[in-house]
Amino acid sequence: MLSHHNQQSNRIDIPTAYEKNTIELPFWQAVLLCYDEIADEIFKLREQREKCTVDTAARDARIARINELQDFIKQQPAHLEAFDEALVKRWLERIIVWENHFTVELKSGLKIDIER
């Protein structure tokens, strides 16, 4: 029962048709459902974009930290003859001792498991 057509584009003039009550309610329900689906998709895409932005920033920070550590490593002598506290503070995040091995975690995020 769609009687209000725009002759130039062969489209329904929805506001005019609605004002004159020539469009049935199920049509409007379908339009609203489509609108809701599109709006939901837009919100999902915005959330994904925000997450990607955060992930990219975290990745960039991690890469910068790795580059900083690599530069620091290049400046160090090849053989350590004594404990270097500055080196440990700069590189080491933590050491986890397990029953049969331990895990060394560097500040760059690298984890190294060492068997006993």
Average pLDDT over residues 45-66: 92
Q: What is the DSSP letter of 112?
A: E
pLDDT at 35: 82
Average pLDDT over residues 17-25: 57
* Per-residue pLDDT tens digits for 88-98: 888 899 999 99
Question: What's the chain's average pLDDT?
Answer: 78
Confidence category of residue 37, pLDDT binned at 50, 70, 90 = confident
Bridge partners (DSSP) listed for residue 114 = 102
Q: Bigger pLDDT: 59 or 27?
A: 59
Q: Name the 3-class secondary structure at 99.
A: coil
Q: Name the 3-class secondary structure at 4.
A: coil
Residue 20 pLDDT greater than 60, yes or no: no
**Whole-angstrom distance, CA of residue 72 vs CA of residue 84:** 13
Q: Which helix (H) or strand (E) holds 107?
A: none
Average pLDDT over residues 21-38: 72
pLDDT at 21: 59
pTM of the model: 0.39
User: What token pair was written down for 93?
Assistant: 């995040």
**Whole-angstrom distance, CA of residue 4 vs CA of residue 100:** 80
How many of the other CB atoms lie within 10 Å of CB of 23?
Answer: 19
